Amino acid sequence: MKQRLLRRLKRGRLILIGVLLTIVPLVAGLLAPWVAPDAPDRLDPMLRLVAPGGPHIFGTDELGRDLLTQVIYGARLSLLIGSLVVIISTVLGTIFGLMAGYLRNLDALIMRTMDGLLALPDLLLGIALMASLGPNVANVVLALGVVYTPRIARLVRGSVLVVRELEYVQAAQALGATAGRSMFRHVLPSSMSPLIVQATFVFAFSILSEAALSFLGVGVPPTIPSWGNILAGGRQFMVEAPWVTMIPGLAIVITVLGINLLGDGLRDALDPRLRRLV
Amino acid sequence: MLTYIFRRLMQLVIVLAVVGVIAFLLIHLAPGDPASVMLGSNATQDQVDRLRQQLALDQPLPVQFVAWSSRVLQGDLGISHFAQKPVLQVLAQRAEPTLILTSMSILVAILIGVPTGVVAAIRRGGGLDQAALGLALLGASVPSFWLGLSLILFFAVRLGWFPSSGILPLASGGFESLRYYVLPALALGFPNSALITRITRSSMLDVLNQDYVRTAESKGVSPFRVIIRHALRNALVPIVTIIGLTIASLMGGAVVTETVFSIPGVGRLVVQSVLRRDYPVIQAAILLVATIYVLVNLAVDLLYVWVDPRIRVVEQREARPA
């Protein structure tokens, strides 16, 4: 009994640490125009690569922009892109997953398409899609939304296949509930927990992927401050000004670590069956 | 067994066909006329017209797809307009560094992931378990390109232990050229070890509770031998699956790592091709990676069925229509 209580507290602690780590970049990003010490596009050629400390707490980048400001605006963009990717992939994935699970004649078509998308590593598929769509913020969201849809679709389809065989769902159907009604009344609620957990991980993945795409020069256009862009810019001056690469990198690690902890904690709390699996 | 292999092969063909459609559509999603997109901005009108005719661009999309895929199946993946050479030739020239990088990275990922996972399972709930899970969490949260930059800064610039970038071809450097891959392999391998650690841990936990492990323990087999011979061996199936999947994810990660370390491999080529809008190269890379992915998965599946007859029975039961 006591042990179980301790375990619950521990789970709560994971979520708490996750929230604490995520909340700083989240609030800073949301309030960027008010909390950033400088304007994001103000550059001072006289103050290039100033070391951290003094008026510029995090120093300045290769164009003489305040690095703290860049990182805060980067948080704004990364978290915005991450949230939109989660929304797109969850909505598309849920629709496709429900359709595949319910409509037998569409199942093969939808799931084989998802298998094809899953046969490509996230980043390679993202890069290939960006190659066609062209680099801008909306296309990064779209490309990553497509990349992460199959994971959600698979999950939702799996839940549908389990839930619709359950007695109470069959009973509801026998009493005349339509397919649509049983989808929204029975299937969706029961697949909610794994869906929330998976969405959390998609959030973490998409922040990492966006940073990688921008770092490679095929994501967010270089004029817009994003964590990947700051890193790409600071790379050439890494030896004389390591803070320009280290600080945004740490921002990514802390944020993604926080989201992953949150995901782990939520998985343990919401879905005990999954606890030991991954 | 034969029907099982046949079914798996059919699935493989379908997945590859879907990937083919994706690769084919990439060019048609791109803004502008596919022929001029494929030839790049330096092409003359005459060249564009010729390619348009060759690709049957005036035909409906399905007809074009059949024409394109029949050329691909004959090994004709088109011409890289940047290199002005057949795509396959361009890819082959870049293959060596990527093969070395991904093999060394998978080695790093296994060498970190499996022992960490085993130790975590044995010391479940203890300090070592927490440390192992923490390490896995860190691995899952670190961008590999940033890890690469940090490794360069510390081990190449500060300490001077390893070269900071570039490669030495195996033919001219021999063993020495492997030193160029140590940091890249760490940067790519460590983030990919996270999932291996977690799967190894959970798979070992399942096995450690089994009767035969207790029997082995109680009959006086040494703990080390119990863990390696009795437990790990039986926990291997999920671990091998995840290693197979990791190989695919490494090929995606190689794109970034090769850029960070200026390694002239396939991954770097893909990024350069995106910036040059050299679509035939991107298409070929996608098809290549997907092919490797399905073949690795097939190999892993067949390996189990061969090793563990129980799976064969389950597969057959599942294959029966409900």
Selection from B249, B252, B276, B279 nearest residue B265 by Cα = B252
Does residue B272 carry a pLDDT above 70? yes
Mean pLDDT, residues B245-273: 89
Q: Where are the alpha helices (DSSP H) in A31-103?
A: 32-35, 67-102
Nearest CA to B295 out of B55, B16, B2, B69 is that of B16
Beta bridge partners of B80: B85
The pair of structure tokens assigned to B109 is 């990922």
Q: Do A278 and B202 touch (CB under 8 A)?
A: yes
| Percent of chain A at pLDDT exceeding 70 | 92
Q: Which residue in A has a C-alpha nearest to residue B267's C-alpha?
A: A124
The model's confidence at residue A212, banded by pLDDT at 50, 70 and 90, is very high
pLDDT digit string (tens) for B229-245? Answer: 778 877 888 888 888 88
Helix (H, G, I), strand (E, B) or coil at A66: strand
Burial of B113: CB neighbours in 10 Å, binned 0-12, 13-18, 19+: buried
> DSSP string covering B65-107, please?
HHHHHHHHHTT---EETTTTEEHHHHHHHHHHHHHHHHHHHHH
Is A122 in contact with B252 (Cβ distance < 8 A)?
Answer: yes
Q: Give residue A18's identity as a one-letter amino acid code.
A: G
In one letter, which amino acid is A62? E
Looking up tokens 């004649």 gives: A105
Q: Is the pLDDT of residue B167 over 80?
A: no
> What whole-number distance in Å separates Cα of residue A146 and Cα of residue A125?
9
Q: pLDDT tens across B186-212, in order?
A: 999 999 999 999 999 988 888 887 888
Asked if residue B93 has pLDDT above 70, the reply is: yes
Average pLDDT, integer, range B288-306: 84
Among B143, B259, B285, whose Cβ lies nearest the Cβ of A252? B143
Residue A58 is given by DSSP the state: T
Q: Which of B37, B158, B255, B318 to mutate to test the interface with A (most CBs of A within 10 A)?
A: B255
B25, closest residue in chain A (CA to CA): A132
Q: Are A35 and A28 in contact (CB under 8 A)?
A: yes
**Backbone φ and ψ of A36, nearest 5°:** -70, 135
User: Do B282 and A131 make contact, defined as CB atoms within 8 angstroms?
Assistant: yes
Q: Is the CB of residue B29 less than 8 Å away from at least one CB of chain A? A: yes
What pLDDT score was predicted for residue A81? 94
Nearest CA in chain A to B125: A7
What distance lies between CA B201 and its chain's CA centroid?
Answer: 22
Instruction: Give the C-alpha separation, A47 to A51, whole Å.
Output: 10
Per-residue pLDDT band for A203 (boundaries 50, 70, 90) equals very high
What pLDDT does A209 receive? 93
Lowest mean pLDDT among A159-163, A254-258, B89-93: A159-163
Instruction: Give B163 or B318, the one with higher predicted confidence.
Output: B163
Nearest to A260 among B30, B140, B293 (CB): B140
In Å, how far is B222's CA from the nearest CA of chain A? 27
Residue the block writes with tokens 């011409």: B79
Which pLDDT value is given to residue A276? Answer: 45
Contact B277 A131 (CB under 8 A): yes
Q: Over chain B, what is the mean pLDDT? A: 83
Contact assignment for A128 to B26 by CB distance below 8 Å: yes
Give tens-digit pLDDT for B12-55.
888 899 999 988 888 777 776 777 766 766 777 787 787 777 76
Chain A nearest CA to B69, separation (Å): 16
Residue of B nearest to A256 (CA): B141
Instruction: Establish how many alpha carbons lie within 13 A of residue A159's alpha carbon, considering only the half-sphere containing its beta carbon.
Output: 25
- With beta carbons under 8 A apart, name residues in chain B contacting A212: 143-145, 256
**Averaged pLDDT for residues B201-228:** 82
A271 confidence band (pLDDT: 50, 70, 90)? low
| Alpha carbon of residue B67 to chain centroid | 29
A249 and B279 within 8 Å at the Cβ level: the answer is no
Q: Is the pLDDT of residue A132 over 60?
A: yes
Q: What is the rounded distance in angstroms from the CA atom of residue A145 to the CA atom of residue A137?
A: 12
Closest by CA to B295, choosing from B9, B1, B3, is B9
Which residue type, as a one-letter code, is found at position B124?
Answer: R
User: Which pair of structure tokens corresponds to residue B41?
Assistant: 């901005």
Taking the CA of residue A140 and the nearest CA in chain B, the distance in Å comes to 14
Average pLDDT over residues B133-138: 90
Distance between CA atoms of A274 and B137, rounded to whole angstroms?
Answer: 17
At residue A106 the predicted structure's pLDDT band, cuts being 50, 70 and 90, is: confident
3 state SS of A53: strand
CB of B195 less than 8 A from some CB of A: yes
CB within 8 Å: B252 and A231: no
Size of interface A-B (CB pairs under 8 A): 159
Specify which of A88-97, B77-86, B168-177 reaches the highest per-range mean pLDDT.
A88-97
Comparing A116-120, A202-206, B311-315, the range with the smallest average pLDDT is B311-315
Q: Is A23 exposed, middle or buried (0-12, 13-18, 19+ CB in 10 A)?
A: exposed
Interface of B with A in 69-88 (CB under 8 A): none
Candidates B16, B143, B279; nearest CB to A249: B143
Average pLDDT (B153-164) is 82
Residue B244 CB-half CA count within 13 A? 21
Q: How far is CA A164 from the centre of its chain?
A: 30
DSSP state at residue B277:
T
Name the residue facing A115 among B18, B21, B202 (closest C-beta).
B18
Give the chain A residue nearest B295 (alpha carbons): A119
Mean pLDDT of B241-258: 87
Q: A120 and B199: CB-CB below 8 Å?
A: no
Is the pLDDT at A77 greater than 80, yes or no? yes
- Residue B84 gets the label, from left (phi > 0), alpha (psi -120 to 50) or beta, of left
Which residues of chain A does B11 touch, with a Cβ-Cβ cutoff of 8 Å? 115
Q: State the average pLDDT over residues B136-159.
A: 89
Pick from B149, B130, B245: nearest CA to B196? B245
> Beta strands of B166-268 (E only): which ranges?
none
Distance from CA of B315 to the nearest CA of A (A): 18
Residue that is written with structure tokens 């290939």 in the block: A128
Is pLDDT above 90 for B175?
no
Structure letter (DSSP) for residue A56: B
Q: Lowest mean pLDDT: which of A5-9, A15-19, A36-40? A: A5-9
B12 touching A (Cβ < 8 Å): no
Structure tokens at B100: 């070395």
- Kindly state the tokens that stand for B208: 């450690």
Phi and psi at residue B319, in whole multiples of 5°? -70, -25
Whole-number pLDDT of residue A204: 93
* Chain B from 255 to 274: CB within 8 A of any A CB: 255-256, 259-260, 270-271, 273-274
* Residue-averaged pLDDT of chain A: 83
- Output A187 or B150, whichever has higher pLDDT: B150
**pLDDT, position B315:** 53
Residue range A157-165: mean pLDDT, rounded: 83
Interface predicted TM-score (ipTM) of this complex, two decimals? 0.85
Percent of chain B with pLDDT over 70: 91
Residues in Cβ contact with B47 at an 8 Å cutoff, skipping those fewer than 6 apart: B39
Q: B residues 239-258 near A, CB within 8 Å?
A: 248-253, 255-256
Residue with tokens 């050439």: A236
